[in-house]
């Protein structure tokens, strides 16, 4: 069906809605959908959007996928299609062979979901794509991470930002660290609470046991992640990774950074530097306020100093 024909159906549907003939409007929406288009109602009328060549879940609750790989490496995609190519290319080349890369596309922003789809088709044995209708801002960072944990049937769950680019196998040392007594999480960059600053800041920490690891790349035992996930109120990633780690430590888990230089780099972190400043700062502050309210003064849950 040509675009002009689809547009005619959309106009007819708009008139049916105006006439309160909602049954007819629903039939026309179904016809538009079958033609490969999505009609979006707007204050000015409607907008037609061509449907992507992949299935899209309308909500996180609709996702019924389970991945039984020993390691599930989750990448949350919220735009930046060129970053998708760089990040997934590095993961396909350097991640452990037993790992499945779970790329969660939030909203196909700027066509990033199309890149994810291309990677799944090119490397189906390495990449599994999940496409969601909402953007990451609409869905919330913690909710997407929790959904990814539910998709993970293997023993190790990992999440990383697209700005993290593997230059070798940086994942295996973190997975091996989980074998240590009581360790539930590991990561690339560790931080410790600055207790002398009344918990208002975190400072960089070296290898060994730490208070938290940052979400640029963190690996968590799946059973621990299921028991203690990130706080669902965390809509933006910033500070939410540290809050999650403190929740894991409060539950009795240890968190470590492997010794030695890990083969990876961080490119521009668009999720922070190019996000909407007002939203970013508001949500980051909300999360840090929760950290202070719940944990300030709880030196018993911190790593040994």
Delimit the domains of the chain by residue range: 3-50, 60-301
What pTM, to 2 d.p., does this model score?
0.88
* Cα-based distances in Å from 141 to 96, 239, 244: 25, 11, 12
Sign of the four-CA dihedral 167, 73, 133, 275: negative
Q: What is the pLDDT of residue 38?
A: 86
Each residue's pLDDT expressed in tens, for the chain with a length of 305 residues: 889 999 999 999 999 999 999 999 999 999 998 998 989 888 889 989 888 889 999 999 999 999 999 999 999 999 999 999 999 999 999 999 999 999 999 999 999 999 999 999 999 999 999 999 999 999 999 999 999 999 999 999 999 999 999 999 999 999 999 999 999 999 999 999 999 999 999 999 989 999 999 999 999 999 999 999 999 999 999 999 999 999 999 999 999 999 999 999 999 999 889 999 999 999 999 999 999 999 999 999 999 98
Dihedral-angle region of residue 255 (phi above 0 means left; psi in -120 to 50 means alpha; beta otherwise)? beta
CA separation for the pair 248, 211 (Å, rounded): 10
Q: What is the pLDDT of residue 51?
A: 86
Contacts of 64 (CB under 8 A, 6+ apart): none
Sheet holding 202-205, edge to edge: 202-205, 190-193, 212-213
Q: What is the pLDDT of residue 189?
A: 96
Q: What is the pLDDT of residue 49?
A: 83
Of 161, 136, 146, 170, the C-alpha closest to 86 is 161
Between 3.30.70.120, 3.40.640.10, 3.90.550.10, 2.30.40.10, what CATH number should domain 60-301 receive?
Answer: 3.90.550.10
Of 176, 159, 154, 148, the C-alpha closest to 91 is 159
Counted residue by residue, the chain has a size of: 305
Q: What is the pLDDT of residue 271?
A: 87
CB 211 within 8 A of CB 193: yes
The pair of structure tokens assigned to 175 is: 């997975």
CB 177 within 8 A of CB 209: no
CA separation for the pair 188, 257 (Å, rounded): 6
CA separation for the pair 202, 179 (Å, rounded): 26
CA separation for the pair 135, 144 (Å, rounded): 10
Phi/psi at 302 (5° precision)? -85, 160
């Amino acid at each position: 069906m040509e675009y002009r024909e689809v547009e005619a159906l959309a106009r007819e549907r708009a008139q049916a809605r105006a006439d309160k003939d909602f049954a007819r409007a629903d039939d026309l929406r179904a016809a538009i959908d079958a033609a490969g288009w999505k009609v979006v109602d707007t204050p000015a009328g409607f907008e037609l959007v061509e449907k992507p060549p992949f299935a899209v879940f309308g909500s996180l609750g609709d996702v019924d996928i389970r991945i039984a790989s020993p390691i599930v490496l989750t990448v949350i995609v919220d735009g930046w299609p060129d970053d998708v190519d760089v990040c997934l290319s590095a993961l396909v080349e350097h991640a452990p062979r037993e790992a499945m890369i779970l790329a969660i596309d939030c909203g196909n922003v700027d066509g990033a979901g199309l890149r994810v789809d291309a990677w799944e088709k090119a490397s189906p044995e390495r990449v599994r794509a999940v496409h969601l209708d909402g953007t990451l801002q609409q869905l919330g960072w913690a909710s997407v991470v929790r959904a990814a944990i539910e998709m993970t049937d293997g023993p190790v769950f990992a999440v990383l930002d697209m700005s993290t680019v593997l230059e070798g196998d940086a994942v295996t040392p973190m997975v091996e660290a989980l074998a240590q007594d009581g360790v539930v999480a590991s990561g690339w960059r560790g931080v410790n609470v600055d207790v002398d600053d009344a918990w208002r800041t975190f400072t960089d920490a070296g290898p060994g046991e730490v208070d938290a690891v940052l979400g640029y790349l963190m690996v968590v035992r799946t059973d621990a992640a299921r028991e203690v996930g990130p706080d669902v109120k965390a809509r933006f990633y910033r500070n939410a990774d540290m809050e999650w780690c403190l929740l894991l430590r409060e539950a009795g888990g240890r968190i470590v950074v492997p010794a030695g230089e890990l083969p990876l780099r961080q490119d521009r972190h668009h999720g922070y530097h190019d996000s909407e400043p007002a939203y970013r700062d508001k949500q980051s502050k909300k999360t840090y306020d929760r950290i202070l309210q719940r944990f300030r003064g709880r030196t018993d849950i911190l790593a040994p100093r």
